[in-house]
Amino acid sequence: MKAMPGEPPARDRTQRVDAGPGAASTAAQRLGWAAVAVALAAVIVAAVGLHDIHGHLRRISNALDQQAAARQRLESTLGYYSANLATALLTGAGRAAAVEPGGEPVRLRLPCLTESMVGRIKADPSAVAGAFAACEGELSDLVGQRLGPLAEPDRFAIFATLVAFHWAPYGAGAGITMEELRTQTVMHCGQYAALTGHLLRYGSGDGVRLRFVGFEGPTLENHAQLFYSRGEVNLLLDPTVGLIAAAGFDEVMRGIPVKPSRILDFYDRTEIASFRDRIVTALSRGLYRPSELLYYYEGLDPFLAPWTVQFPTPGGAHLQAGASAEPAAGGEP
């Protein structure tokens, strides 16, 4: 196409335009910086991506841990309620409350401890030593299979507890000296505890520690128990219901559950069977609380001394407030 006069020649659209060496260098620099920017962006994206992936993995791990813990709690809960449901179906809902996973306490009898033997000890309390010698083999077999080997003083403490349990039925008795206890036809928990302490003087060895502990509160209402210690051996003795548990004072008061297999149950009466169940439940579920401590005596003599009008303890405050209207184990501690 020809140009008109006075106009510059028209450029052929198909003609290549040569920008020259300076333009090529500038374009190359631009391409280089663009490549660097792209590479840097890729590095940043990769770093952010790795950080996000690490965060996601951490969150997934935490979620899995929480799921495992929840499943464990659920399995434990289901196991507990399954045990209670089975017991309720077989023995009645009233008994189910005392059952923990692992079964009921070991129910035992000591046939050699007869009514006539207890009568001879009432007539002469020192005869408890001879009675123990006659029953020691049988008692050792019964207890050793459940609690492991125990020394003679430990077995004697268990025997004295059982003698006290068979001494008289539960009721509102009076008196805690040995002479007063010999003629009792019914006894309350404090009397059972005192009698056990008296009997232990006829056979306990050296190094024995005996603590008389009273409780006042919603768990046991008003009740007395003994804690026996010798070396590494710790026993809870409850002559009111003929129960022995392989547990120490600190363990029980911290609310550590006692396995049912470590609780020996010699209760064979009916007058306070529901209270016996209550004690078993408190031990097996770890329901004891320091806030329900009424009194604590180291040894028999302080326990026999005249008691203070008001115990300066949490349980004493509970008792003074009259919160316990009708003690489950009855009467004075």
Q: Which residue has the higher pLDDT, 23 or 309?
A: 309
Of 96, 120, 141, the residue at which a domain comes to its end is 96
Fill in the DSSP letter of residue 239.
T
| Domain extent for 126 | 106-320
Same domain for 219 and 164: yes
Same domain for 197 and 146: yes
Fill in the DSSP letter of residue 124.
-
Same domain for 117 and 87: no
Cα separation of 237 and 245, whole Å? 7
Q: What is the pTM of this model?
A: 0.67
Is 101 within a domain?
A: no
Question: Residue 197 is inside which H or E element, if any?
Answer: helix 189-200
Same domain for 62 and 124: no
Is 325 within a domain?
A: no
Over the stretch 33-90, which tens digit does the pLDDT of each residue have?
666 565 665 655 455 555 565 566 667 666 666 665 555 554 544 443 343 333 333 3
- Give yes or no for a contact between 320 and 211, defined as CB atoms under 8 angstroms apart: no
Number of domains, the chain: 2
Same domain for 256 and 201: yes
Same domain for 264 and 211: yes
Q: What backbone phi and psi angles, to 5 degrees, belong to 17?
A: -100, 125
The percent of residues in the chain predicted with pLDDT above 70, rounded, is: 65
Question: Residue 47 is inside which H or E element, if any?
Answer: helix 21-91
Same domain for 181 and 111: yes
| pLDDT over 60 at 102, yes or no | no
Same domain for 223 and 164: yes
Is 12 within a domain?
A: no
Is 299 within a domain?
A: yes
Cα separation of 58 and 61, whole Å? 5
Helix (H, G, I), strand (E, B) or coil at 221: strand
Q: Which residue has the higher pLDDT, 120 or 82?
A: 120
Over the stretch 183-240, which tens digit does the pLDDT of each residue have?
999 999 999 999 999 999 999 778 999 999 999 999 999 999 999 999 999 999 999 9
The segment with the largest mean pLDDT, out of 87-96, 170-179, 324-333, is 170-179
Fill in the DSSP letter of residue 103.
B
Of 43, 69, 96, the residue at which a domain comes to its end is 96
How would DSSP label each residue in 283-305?
HHHT---GGGEEEEEESHHHHHS
Return the residue matching tokens 């009194």. 295
Is 281 within a domain?
A: yes
Same domain for 272 and 211: yes
pLDDT of residue 306: 81
